[in-house]
Structure 1
Amino acid sequence: MNYKLIAVDLDGTLYNDEPAISPATIQALIKAQEMGIRVAISSGRPLPGLFHARDALNLQKYHGMLVSYNGGKVVDTTNHETLYENAIPHELAVEVLKYLGNFPVIPMIDDGNVLYVTDKNAYRVREEALNDSMNCVEVSSLIDCLDFPLIKILTAIEPEKLPDVFKVIGKPYEGILDFVQSADFYIEAVPHGTSKATGLLKVCEKLGIHSDQIIAFGDAKNDLEMIKLAGHGVAMGNACDELKECADEVTLTNNENGIVHTLNHLIFS
């Protein structure tokens, strides 16, 4: 297969547990780009949370793509063109933010630059702001400060509580919003049908390539659609069981240069 796009999830995939991108992984992905293969970082993170990896992989030089917010926003790194953006309607966002008060979750929203929360010291808030390179602003009400397009609503929850909450939290909004688990402690709400796969399809349209020409790497449940879409879907060795079951290949873990291992036999051999 003549692969033309490598799509990589960020946390638990491109990043090892430090978290950092290993020199070997950087070298391999730059080598692939020098061969003419595009790279797309595909993550649940807001756009600024992808910039460190973008710069490390030199994506702006090689016309790479950023698929952020679990596919809710797609940007061309070279000309900064927004190829796609899908926001939650304002009235619906307000309704959902009220609804989340019924659950033991910590909602967080962002405008692409600032992360808004009602308690800076709440569970996972400081980590999220740091990981996404955003300023964290504490407000009395998320609803009152919502004067911008909201692409997703992120909620943090203690891992032991997540399974039971995840079973029920999205039921009133089936067919309207998708509630997805992006980590052991995150549940995210996005417009129905939004996924990393839909974001990558926008990339395919822009580049004039077929989904069969994608190699995709992931580790979590929010990577399922992307792995199924790709011509060669790869689950990291540390991936969840659901992803391993549907992947074309299970590679080494994110701490063992799993991306490099696969690219060596798939495109460099």
Structure 2
Amino acid sequence: MTIKPYDLIVCDLDGTLLDQHKRLSEFTIRTIKCITSFVPVILATARAPRDIEAYMEQLELTGPIICYNGAMVYSFKDKLPLVTFDLELEACMALVHDLRHQTFVSNILVEQQNQFWVDSMDEDVQMWVDMGCEPHAIGYPTSFFDKKISKIMAKGDCEQIIRHVYQHYDGLRHMYSDSKRTWVEFIHCDAGKERALEWLLGDMGISKEKTIAFGDADNDLPLLQTAGCGVAMGNAADEVKQFADLVIGTNEDSSVARYLDHIFKLEMGVE
């Protein structure tokens, strides 16, 4: 018989719910579809809303999404932000102008209202284009910057970039959203997946003790520590595993779905 040990499930995408080819397994899709009939599932990712839509549709999810590493909670149904932790426009423009003149920076990306600008084309940007995610603006100067900014990403010598930014700018926090650490991103100091979760818990009237969260990367650790139960993937960074409540299998084995099937007693059968 199905049981309900948690009232909310929060799950990272890349390296957690998705396999190395950025795909959802059929078992994961079936399991999430089953469980959402009585427990809400929220995706929490560094991605922009536009980069999550296909997965939301596959999983038949209609609730909010934690985007931009927690700098935005987005309503998938209404296609509007519910809450944002934005960077101030003038400070962002100053930072972008500054980074463009640093020899240790090879490229810059800025996210704004579900659109993005890049300073130049490179192999990473071309890969995104090939995947159907084309920049909304390229090159500097640009008229793209006309609203508050969700996040700034810089590519290059990331450790030097971090030192430079913290030495000259206030009100920011940095994080990596992938294990390669070729890009470092900066968001508002009050943003984060854990802050977005706290906002959602208040809005939904759910206690954190009744929340379970899954993740694999450094940017997931505060989320796992905020939830009542924080679950690290077998492929997670060592620090994430160390501070998680438990560790399960890898993202290649549909491990999130298998664990949910187990603790909720869904009896989904074998994959």
Give TM-score scaled by structure 2 length: 0.87
User: What does residue 147 of structure 1 align with?
Assistant: 146
Residues 128-178 of structure 1: per-residue CA shift (max 9 Å, x gap): 456684544322335x53112211012234xxx44x436624422675100
Letter in 2 for 1:42: A
Residues 34-85 of structure 1: per-residue CA shift (max 9 Å, x gap): 1x1101110111111111111111112xxx2200011111023334453211
2:50 is equivalent to residue 48 of structure 1: yes
Letter in 2 for 1:141: P
Instruction: Tell me how far apart the structure 2 counterparts of residues 266 and 134 of structure 1 sit (CA, whole Å).
Output: 40
Which among 184, 200, 203 is matched to residue 203 of structure 1? Answer: 200
User: What does residue 226 of structure 2 align with?
Assistant: 229
Letter in 1 for 2:137: V
Letter in 2 for 1:177: L
How many residue pairs match? The answer is: 259
Superposition pairs for residues 1-269 of structure 1, below 5 Å?
2-34=5-37, 36-60=38-62, 64-80=63-79, 82-101=81-100, 102=102, 103-120=104-121, 122-129=122-129, 133-141=133-141, 144-157=143-156, 161-162=157-158, 164-165=159-160, 168-172=163-167, 176-183=171-178, 184=180, 185-268=182-265
Q: CA deviation at 1:126?
A: 2.5
- SS of structure 1 residue aligned to 2:196: helix
Letter in 2 for 1:139: G
Instruction: Tell me how far apart the structure 1 counterparts of residues 144 and 189 of structure 2 sit (CA, whole Å).
Output: 24
Instruction: Tell me how far apart the structure 1 counterparts of residues 197 and 130 of structure 2 sit (CA, whole Å).
Output: 26
Q: CA deviation at 1:200?
A: 1.1
Instruction: Tell me how far apart the structure 1 counterparts of residues 208 and 58 of structure 2 sit (CA, whole Å).
Output: 25
Instruction: Tell me how far apart the structure 2 counterparts of residues 13 and 100 of structure 1 sit (CA, whole Å).
Output: 32
- SS of structure 1 residue aligned to 2:140: coil
- Which one scores higher on RCO, CA 8 angstroms, separation ≥ 6? 2
Instruction: Tell me how far apart the structure 1 counterparts of residues 211 and 21 of structure 2 sit (CA, whole Å).
Output: 27
Q: CA deviation at 1:7?
A: 0.8
- SS of structure 1 residue aligned to 2:46: coil
Q: Does 22-31 or 75-84 show the bigger shift? A: 75-84
CA gap 1:264/1:127 in 2 versus in 1, 3 angstroms? same
CA gap 1:29/1:130 in 2 versus in 1, 3 angstroms? farther
Q: Give the RMSD, CA atoms, in angstroms.
A: 2.2
Instruction: Tell me how far apart the structure 2 counterparts of residues 191 and 173 of structure 1 sit (CA, whole Å).
Output: 15
Q: Percent identity?
A: 25
Give TM-score scaled by structure 1 length: 0.88
Letter in 2 for 1:219: D
**Unmatched tracts of structure 1, length 5 or more:** none
